[in-house]
Amino acid sequence: MPSDHRAFKDALYTQFARIGHAVSSPKRLELLDLLGQGEKTVEQLAEQTATAVKNTSAHLRALRQARLVETRRDGTYVWYRLADDAVAAFLLALQALGRHRYAEVREVAESYLERRDSFEPIPPEELRRRLNAGDVTLIDVRPGDEFAAGHIPGALSVPVVELAERLREFPKRREIVAYCRGRYCVLAITAIELLRQRGYRARRLIESIPAWRARGYPVAHNATRSGSVLIETVPARAPRHRGGRHS
């Protein structure tokens, strides 16, 4: 092979390897997964990944250097978000590949998730049909800021920490479907366990908002602080909130 071809190949795959290096940390993959829900500050991400703020900042810098995340400033505050839809698609593909190639992924999921929920998750197509028919109650059990950043149209925002106090809002004659951050999120499982204990028929949707959007299904988001809602099929950035000073 001519030397100029070799130089071309080396330079090309060196650039591709930047992505592999950036996502070689389990914490960075988790950070990308969380940012798929909407913009977040360093403090929010540190709390949700049980990682020190200093270490979280270092991981975010690596992801930013690889151009997988972007930032915006709001005064002295810095917010992180995924760079674009391609990053969310990459993460979904990586997770799917892991499930396909590694028995360990399936074993970990089964040992923690499936043993807590033996019911078949509701398929996205069935959920859309039943939402249109009005015979199911859909609840989004993620934190309220993630719901505002993007949610399934027709879903009610019921953060899992509030669920026990809000059960009277839901008629027992109608099945409840809960969803959170995707296949490996435990918030929805916690919710359906509580619902079933209280006599409700409940199932979970394992689809995340990025995966729902990737199907071309509509996503709603809160457009203003007044609570108005827009529905669109393209990603929406989270509303502006006060956040952390770390970069």
Give residue 76's pLDDT band: very low, low, confident or very high (50, 70, 90). Answer: confident
Q: CA–CA separation, 212 vs 206, rounded Å?
A: 10
Residues 174-227 have pLDDT tens digits of 999 999 999 999 999 999 999 999 999 999 999 999 999 999 999 998 854 444
CB atoms within 10 A of CB 28: 22
Query: Given this model, what pLDDT does residue 225 score?
Result: 42
Q: How confident is the model over 29-41, as a mean pLDDT?
A: 97
Q: CA–CA separation, 11 vs 142, rounded Å?
A: 42
Is residue 241 within 8 A of residue 145, CB to CB? The reply is: yes
Backbone angles phi, psi at 156, to 5 degrees: -100, 140
Burial of 191 (0-12, 13-18, 19+ CB in 10 A): buried
**Side chain identity at residue 121, one-letter code:** P
Give residue 240's pLDDT band: very low, low, confident or very high (50, 70, 90). Answer: very low
- Six-digit token string for 167: 């059960």
- Mean pLDDT over each residue of the chain, to the nearest integer: 90
Choose the weakest-confidence range: 24-28, 113-117, 177-181: 113-117
Q: Is the pLDDT of residue 229 over 80?
A: no
Q: Is 185 a catalytic residue?
A: no
Give residue 75's pLDDT band: very low, low, confident or very high (50, 70, 90). Answer: confident
Percent of the chain with pLDDT over 90: 80
Segment (H or E) for 74 = strand 69-74
Q: How many CA atoms lie within 13 A of 47 on its CB side?
A: 7
Global pTM reads 0.86
Of 60, 82, 158, 180, the active-site residue reads 180
Local structure of 80: helix, strand or coil? strand
